[in-house]
Amino acid sequence: MAMLRPIPWVFRKVFVCTVFTVGAILSTAACATVQSHPAYQQGQIIDPAKNVTMSFSEFRSVLLGADVIYIGEAHYTPSHIEAALQVLQTLLDEGRTPILGMEMFSWDGQGGLDRYLNGEVTRIEEFLAESQWKNNWGGKYADYSPLVDFAKTHELKLLGLNPPRPLVRKVVQKGLSGIGGDPDVKKWNIPDPFPADDPEYRGIIFEQIEKCHGGMSQEVYQKIYEASVFRDEGMASVITTTMSRLGTSGPRTFVSYTGAGHIQYGLPIPKRVQRQLGTPVRQVTVYLHALDPEHSEDVDHLIDEQIADFVWLTSLGPQGRQPGCGE
């Protein structure tokens, strides 16, 4: 997919702030022009660039043509887990062996994650302790267990995408320039010096940080921003390292499952993966949106701003509509 067009800052409306947080899903409607309220329905998959809905058969072809599929969720939304499972099952049905990466697991818990997947650890409590779940994510594991269970059942590789939380905290405290000699940082593959800032990424993320964390100093905003850079660069590095090792060894696809903020406009993780690999990679971003029929304007904005290659409308989760910062 081509890089999405940049959106003028003044027209952007924030719907997710996950980039810096330190039922029936699918119908098979024929391809048709997207219409305004009240036409949006759960199960629609919309191509914002063409302003059309697409059938799942068409969407399947897109998935099979991608090397990396980025799925962006709203945290703790069951219908988003179900959508990700449908993507994984589709790839398996077509002879692919997907590799799954999850933001909810971190680098320092990979050993425990591997031991659970290969059967060395069977008790959930022991698995959660070894995978550093509480130290890094801390939410209800049951909300994300279907993805782990799917990987275990189908013997898929599952990778933790997130840098360890203690490292992220250090960036918040010291900034990127202050962690270069830190021994805890050196044991991980952290680039030194850190890559140059991306003005387009900064323009989006910094604005969102200010809206979602009002009343702080510019110095604090800068450190929160640098922690966002650190996390996105780190998550991208897991994908690029994996893709580089795969080479042309077979029909494999990397499926990245993160908060939607990490894939918006193709900038936070996808653009970094492309830069890190240095060679063309076929990428597709899928933005999952839990549709509130009373707020179809949310979908209008996502489409108008071309938030991702595809917007997939699902059912609301138990938390209901999640308005954006500043709304």
The answer to whether 167 and 230 have CB atoms below 8 angstroms apart is yes
Q: What is the pLDDT of residues 5-24, one digit of tens each?
A: 333 322 333 334 443 444 33
Task: Give the model's pLDDT for residue 271.
Answer: 97
Reported as a pLDDT band with limits 50, 70 and 90, residue 250 is: low
Residue 180 has pLDDT above 80, yes or no: no
Reported as a pLDDT band with limits 50, 70 and 90, residue 249 is: low
Phi, psi of 318 (to 5 degrees): -65, -20
Phi, psi of 154 (to 5 degrees): -100, 10
Class of 9-314 in CATH: alpha beta
Is the entire prediction scored with pTM above 0.85?
A: yes
Reported as a pLDDT band with limits 50, 70 and 90, residue 28 is: very low
Q: What is the mean pLDDT of the segment spanning 98-115?
A: 97
For the chain, the average pLDDT equals 87
Residue 106 has pLDDT above 70, yes or no: yes
Q: Which residues pair with 143 in a beta bridge?
A: none
The answer to whether 34 and 296 have CB atoms below 8 angstroms apart is no
The answer to whether 53 and 44 have CB atoms below 8 angstroms apart is yes
Q: What is the mean pLDDT of the segment spanning 266-274?
A: 97
Q: What is the pLDDT of residues 187-240, one digit of tens each?
A: 887 887 789 999 999 999 999 999 998 899 999 999 999 999 999 999 999 999
Q: What does the alpha-carbon distance between residue 96 and residue 253 come to, in Å, rounded to a whole number? A: 7
**What is the percent of the chain with per-residue pLDDT over 70, rounded to a whole number?**
86
